[in-house]
Amino acid sequence: MVILSDQLLANSFQSIKTDTMPTGNYADVNGIKMYYETYMPAGTLKTNGIPLILIHGGGSTIQSTFGNVLPLFAQQYKVIAIELQAHGRTGDRDAPESFEQDADDVAALLKQLNISKANILGFSNGGNTTMRIATRHPELVNKIVVAAAFYQREGMQPGFFEMMQRATINDMPQALKDAFLKLTPDTAKLQNMFEKDRSRMANFKDWADADLQAIKAPALIISGDKDVATTDHTAKMSKLIAGSELMILPGVHGECLGEVETAKPGSKLPELTVAVITEFLQK
């Protein structure tokens, strides 16, 4: 699947049946203005009308993470895609980023939107946030999909955290920098997001096994066989979350979703991934 430009993305939504084009809005959430987009399919919603929430990865935006799969999900679900603190079009607060705060921000947004139950798909750092939502706000969660996430430092590829300690803005993938600046053309805000993302990862403290064991929502855990987290670690996560399902796909970080850095022209992996996620959500 090729990476979709804004025009191609718009054409994709016009070619599938939707009641409305995607709409962007802001909500006042825990002291920041949070940006989110809503996508509506035509006809009766599946999964009993339970919406699908999309949470992007670190340093990313809605489109840079999900641009290649949003049209597929939007054929079937009401989709709400969110940009987290300091990312994309969402504002910042005078506090570090944390997965716990991101989880509370998402939960507060869902409550403002009168969403009592949701399916949540999080990629990379968004997967960590999704797991925190499942434990901090279980009443809001129907099912979760966690793609390319981790919960302990030992689960990442050797040298990852040492790299994060010395990383500079020059190490940030150009595609992610471009995606941010297209939405928020302010290099100081880009630098701020990078520093907060880097600090959160470099100083990450291991979660306890009990944190994952506390997740009661049905879960699908997804990773690439060449991901930044090891397949052994991903399998361990799946074993800790009771009754969860595990899928390891060929590819590097984000390739299964057609993420902007790793999407490959002609690949069917994003379509396959969406099909498996859809089957899981409809069980």
State mean pLDDT over 124-147.
Answer: 98
pLDDT recorded at residue 215: 98
Token output for 169: 């803005």
Token output for 60: 């990313």
State mean pLDDT over 215-233.
Answer: 98
d(CA 77, CA 54): 11
Q: What is the pLDDT confidence band of residue 5, given thresholds at 50, 70 and 90?
A: very low
State mean pLDDT over 269-279.
Answer: 97
- List 140's β-bridge partners, or say none: none
Q: What is the pLDDT confidence band of residue 185, given thresholds at 50, 70 and 90?
A: very high
- List 223's β-bridge partners, or say none: 248
**Max CA separation in the chain (angstroms):** 51
The top-level CATH class assigned to 6-282 is alpha beta
Parallel, antiparallel, or unpaired: how do β-strands 118-123 and 141-147 relate? parallel
pLDDT recorded at residue 22: 73
pLDDT recorded at residue 48: 59
Q: What angle do CA 218, 202, 141 make, to 5 degrees?
A: 20
Domain boundaries, the chain: 6-282
Specify the DSSP element, H or E, that contains 166.
helix 160-166
The pLDDT of residue 2 is above 80: no
Q: What is the pLDDT confidence band of residue 9, given thresholds at 50, 70 and 90?
A: very low
Predicted TM-score (pTM) of the model is 0.92
Calculate the average pLDDT of the chain: 92
**Quick one: how far is CA 277 from the chain centroid?**
14
Parallel, antiparallel, or unpaired: how do β-strands 32-41 and 18-29 relate? antiparallel
State mean pLDDT over 154-176.
Answer: 97
Q: What is the per-residue pLDDT across 13-33, written as a single tens digit (0 to 9) for each?
A: 343 444 445 789 999 999 999
State mean pLDDT over 92-116.
Answer: 98
DSSP 1-60: -PPPPHHHHHHHHHHS-EEEEEEEEEEEETTEEEEEEEEEESSS-SGGG--EEEE--TT-
pLDDT recorded at residue 46: 52
The pLDDT of residue 226 is above 50: yes
